[in-house]
Structure 1
Amino acid sequence: MRILGTVNGRPRLLHKSKLVIIAILLLVGASLSACGKNNEAGLAEGKVNVVTSFYPLYYFAQEIGGDKAHVVNLIAAGVEPHEWTPKSRDLTSVSKAQLFLYNGAGLEGWVDDFLHGLGSDSKVITVEASKGISLIQGNPEHEEGHEDEHDAEEEHGHSDLGVDPHTWVSPRSALVMAANIRDAFVQADPANEAEYELRYADLEQRIKQLDDKYTRELSGYKRRDIVVSHQAFGYLARDYDLNQIAIMGLSPEAEPRSQDLLAIARYVKEHEIPYIFFEELVSEQLANTLASEAKVDTLVLNPLEGLTPEQQKAGENYFTLSERNLQNLQKALQ
């Protein structure tokens, strides 16, 4: 993987006096805006500077780090993580931080080259947040021998298509990830260990309550099948005894075969499955097409990979989205 740089072109000065004044004002405004962005993403004196690869890690790091941490997420709101690759400015941000948190398990196909780019003298602590989770091995698409589809998936970010990387979707996996992040804070800033432990304990309690609620409220349904647009709910299905039927593979960009779509539509009809789930950060076209073919409705099942700008503005977070997922799962299992 190649990490590409960015080129910042300079606007050409205009010669007419009024246009020159307008250009200067625009340049000043752009400069102030850029300064604001740099301050947000730059170092914060007296705090642990943390860079995260995507939203769940950003949220957990904020919750554990509190006012002792300055946390920056590489991926902007509304961007699907599977489609994202870092730029040279991201490498610069990480090289100046004390902690870099990434999911691992093959999610960030770019991470090995990225970390190599930091150099051997880098002091940043890199943390694979999924370490210690029992990973789901295997990919149904491999079994069919769709090599072209596999290559396409790999280009979109997964470095290991034999492992399901979507660990964070299940609260039980999130518990392991939060503990790894706590340990990283303690390693980077042992003087404030007590505060990190306290904030972690609060986060741990909320995740355990979410896990208990999922276990309790999903256990009473006879129906266990969920049809999803993207194979992102394997850990959720494993931990709460559900059967995930995915239209697309581990990457939301993987194209399903026409015979697979027909087979899923037939399964939906035969088993009277009332809803097909789609995601907000990827196209819902396939889910809608399949729902129309099977004459059923659609619902959102959020893979918790990131927030839309609207969700960010509304103050949504990992827990509010997980609660909404639970409500929609209950509706689909009735």
Structure 2
Amino acid sequence: MRELSLVRVLQGVLAALMIVFSVNAALAQDRPRIVTVNQALHFLAERLLEDTAEVVFPVPEGVDPSFWRPSIADISMIQSADMILLNGAGFASWIDRVSLPRSRIVNTSAAIEDAFIVTESITHSHGDGGEHSHEGIASYTWLDPMLAIAQAEAIAAAVVARDLATGEDVEARLTELRSDLTELDAMAQDALSGLEGVTMIATHPRYQYFARRYSLSIASLEWDAGAMPSEDDLSDLERLSTELDARILIWEAQPPREAIELAETLGLQSVVFEPGASKGSPDGLFAAYRQAVSSLSEAASENAD
């Protein structure tokens, strides 16, 4: 009898779990799915939509989303999404090789094209992705908080126009997000004022919009994110730092400790600034931005002493 009672209890628990699973699955299917091409857009979309939509950034951790190559399964998932948020400005080369439903595409930077920064054409190899080119347009637009506001506004308008979320709710969240980005910009303006006339070097050309917004001088190298620089890389760094009298080196991702020590021997103070395109800081885009701005400000103060 006890065994029979135990079996019935287990059956009841299993049935309850199946009901919960079915309900959760149904709710997930009822929510619209929105795919983004980088982590920054994922952050903005989640702030605007919260739990009213499933926001997906499909690029695996540790992979540069600019040059990601989606699998057939990835492409199928993206094509079936209710909305696909593109960054524009040439970001994400894979979109030119994949057929995407035009009616579901939103170019979040379409309204700010007159603010794009034209770059020189530089072709080089990048990890296992083969050769590629940073050609034509700087693409990390969101590193200027004012441009990020414009991209958030484009997302908000699109989700409301397509009835993927309630206009009143989205507008309230947009107001809050706009306020947070404006506050972030004011903080950066104040903190970075001491960097006027200070030349910095970045390990990758990501920071053009950031530099323009805050009147900074940032020269760029072509290093893989977070990788140990080669002897040739270090020679290029030494030459450039001497030429520019640079004292600060911006890393796109946390490098090995040895790399930081080698930079120190060249008189360079290291600052890590994750630009928010890849899956990175668990604290989100704003936290990484504030930390980088604070570290740059401290580095400037130390070099002024």
Shorter-chain TM-score range: 0.7 to 0.9
Residue 74 (structure 2) pairs with residue 86 (structure 1): no
How much does 1:157 deviate?
8.5
1:57-100 superposed Cα distances (whole Å, 9 cap, x missing partner): 11111111122211111113333323421111111112221100
Q: State how far apart, in whole Å, the 2-side matches of 1:106 and 1:202 are.
A: 29
The aligned counterpart of 2:160 is 186
Residue 109 (structure 2) pairs with residue 125 (structure 1): no
The aligned counterpart of 1:299 is 271
Unpaired runs of 5+ in structure 2? 1-20
Per the alignment, do residues 44 and 318 of structure 1 end up closer, same or farther by CA in structure 2, a change over 3 Å counting?
A: same
How much does 1:180 deviate?
1.1
Q: Check conservation: 2:269, 2:299, Cα contact below 8 A.
A: no
Q: Check conservation: 1:95, 1:124, Cα contact below 8 A.
A: no
TM-score if structure 2 supplies the norm length? 0.77
Q: Secondary structure at the match of 1:201?
A: helix
The aligned counterpart of 1:136 is 117
**Sequence identity percentage:** 25
The aligned counterpart of 1:208 is 182
The aligned counterpart of 1:146 is none
Q: Check conservation: 2:59, 2:68, Cα contact below 8 A.
A: yes
The aligned runs of 1:63-78 (5 Å cut-off) are: 63-78=47-62
Q: Check conservation: 2:33, 2:55, Cα contact below 8 A.
A: yes
1:101 to 69, 85, 88: 85
Q: Check conservation: 2:203, 2:252, Cα contact below 8 A.
A: yes
How much does 1:51 deviate?
0.9
Q: State how far apart, in whole Å, the 2-side matches of 1:304 and 1:293 are.
A: 29
User: Where is the strand percentage greater, Structure 1 or Structure 2?
Assistant: 2
The aligned counterpart of 2:8 is none
Unpaired runs of 5+ in structure 1? 1-35, 143-148
Q: Check conservation: 2:67, 2:94, Cα contact below 8 A.
A: no
How much does 1:219 deviate?
1.9
CA RMSD of aligned residues (A): 3.3
The aligned counterpart of 1:227 is 201
Q: Check conservation: 2:123, 2:131, Cα contact below 8 A.
A: no
The aligned runs of 1:280-319 (5 Å cut-off) are: 280=253, 288=260, 291-308=263-280, 311-312=281-282, 316-319=283-286
Q: State how far apart, in whole Å, the 2-side matches of 1:240 and 1:108 are.
A: 26
Question: What residue identity is the alignment partner of 1:298?
Answer: S
Question: What residue identity is the alignment partner of 1:265?
Answer: S
How much does 1:211 deviate?
0.9
Q: Check conservation: 1:229, 1:247, Cα contact below 8 A.
A: yes
Q: Check conservation: 1:169, 1:303, Cα contact below 8 A.
A: yes
2:46 to 62, 70, 75: 62
Instruction: Give the number of aligned pairs.
Output: 273
TM-score if structure 1 supplies the norm length? 0.71
